[in-house]
Amino acid sequence: MTINELQDEIIEEFELLDEWTDRYELIIEAAKALKKKMPESDKTDQNLIDGCQSKVWFTAHMEDGKMQLNGDSDALLVKGIVALLLYVLDDHTPEEIINADLYFIDRIGLREHLSPTRSNGITAMLKQIRLFALAYQAK
């Protein structure tokens, strides 16, 4: 599936829920359903994302021309946001990630319903993922 198809899938799921308490619950469920478990050995200062209120780690490596992303957080809600980002961006080429317009974050109302520091954290996570993509594209 393309990045946009995956984003549209998330938007459709969130549109079924009117209340933000239900949407928060959906984000927390995404955290619990996260398929990739980040090894404790990857939860290092080197993989820590600057600018996040909670501790958030991201790693990336290439496999068959596609980026394999992994992430985790010590806060359940933030881990859910990590899970959504991984759902949309994992297993795509660096070019696809660099060129992606990640509209789902605003379309589901995520930024407006998070504290400013959490919203800044999303920006920091996306910046790191794009930096990984730029580094792999340059190789």
**Cβ–Cβ < 8 Å for 128, 97:** no
Q: 3-state DSSP: the chain helix, strand, coil percent, rounded to 5?
A: 60, 15, 30
Q: Is 4 buried (19+), middle (13-18) or exposed (0-12) by CB count in 10 A? A: middle
**Cβ–Cβ < 8 Å for 47, 59:** yes
Catalytic pick among 10, 34, 38, 52: 52
Active site residue 52: yes
Catalytic residue ranges: 52
